[in-house]
Amino acid sequence: NAGVTQTPKFRVLKTGQSMTLLCAQDMNHEYMYWYRQDPGMGLRLIHYSVGEGTTAKGEVPDGYNVSRLKKQNFLLGLESAAPSQTSVYFCASSLAGGRTGELFFGEGSRLTVL
């Protein structure tokens, strides 16, 4: 049972480089989320999607873009990476969003920006 899969798991970037993190879920969930987790800051919502073709900003969206072209995939892009974006990124999905749905998380993607 795959659940929520994130790729890549580790990545090192230089300042100004771009990259895309991929999140894939096989549970037919409508809602998908990207969080970042930093020491002392906890988990903060970057962007989220409530269905295919829709995206919305979370708490800390600046410097990131997202796309949800297919229901099972949610992509997080960094157009010009900055050291402040060094973090662990988690993707999550749920069947019915925050209202009733249990959140399922991926294993995380550790990004270092030099």
Nearest approach in angstroms of CB 38 to other proteins is: 11
The residues in 24-43 that bind other proteins, with binding defined as CB under 8 A, are 31, 33, 35, 40, 42-43
Binding span for other proteins by CB under 8 A among 17-25, 61-69, 76-84, 105-113: 105-113
By beta-carbon proximity to other proteins, the closer residue of 14 and 100 is: 100
Count residues contacting other proteins (CB under 8 A)? 26
97 binding other proteins? (CB under 8 A): yes
- 107 scored as a contact of other proteins (CB under 8 A): yes
95 near other proteins, judged by CB under 8 A: no
With binding defined as CB under 8 A, does residue 63 bind other proteins?
no
Structure tokens at 101: 């749905």
Transcribe 62-111 into DSSP letters.
Answer: TT-EEE-SSTTEEEEEESS--GGG-EEEEEEEESSHHHHPPPEE---EEE
Contacts of 51 (CB under 8 A, 6+ apart): 30, 31, 68, 71
Closest separation in Å from C-beta 80 to other proteins: 27
Question: Cα–Cα distances in Å, from 103 out to 30, 69, 90, 107?
Answer: 11, 21, 12, 13
